[in-house]
Structure 1
Amino acid sequence: MIGKFFHTPKSHRFNIPYRYYDPEKEEMENREDRIKRELGIHEKKEWNPNRRPNIRGQFRRAMGGSSKTAEEARKRSNTRLIFLIIILSLAVYLILKF
């Protein structure tokens, strides 16, 4: 019991193997890069670090929604709300009167 009181556990080492590592593919890419450098072939990769993607509203547009349909839905919702308020107020008035 006393031996377990002062026992400190040892740290665990993690051994995480690479999941998508293909040494043949990497070797082939290295060979291709070396050959392209020797032949003077340069692939032009245009990448601008200051570029921000314009994704605002793309999901809504892809799902077929537009601002016009959203506005129409809002108007219908407001109309229904006003109609329900009128019906409830008439029901309360009739209940209190009789």
Structure 2
Amino acid sequence: MGFLGNRLGGPRKFNHQYIYVDERKEKLEKMEEQAKRELGMLPEEKKGFNPEDIRGKFIEGTTHLKKRKARGRKPFSMGVILVIIVLLIFLWNYILTGEWSFALF
């Protein structure tokens, strides 16, 4: 039989059972919602996957993206990025050659 017994198959499966759940209340709410849908008081329930439901959910989940969206501007413009790249190329050339002049040939 061994030290561990017959349980050598792997870890236990996760089994979470809710403690404070009123199944009767949930069932009544579902029935009430279905009746309202049938009477036209609520819109019809969507079935299936809709990619438009996902749009914007990632931005809503983070505060810094919400702030950026509220400001309405991008962090860097294309001109700033190009100037930084040119400056880095001149710095790289200075490190390699020791001169600030940039000779192509």
Q: TM-score scaled to structure 2, two decimals? A: 0.43
Q: Which has the larger radius of gyration?
A: 1
TM-score, normalised with respect to structure 1: 0.45
The structure with the largest helix share of the pair is: 1
Bigger RCO (CA 8 Å, 6+ sep) = 2
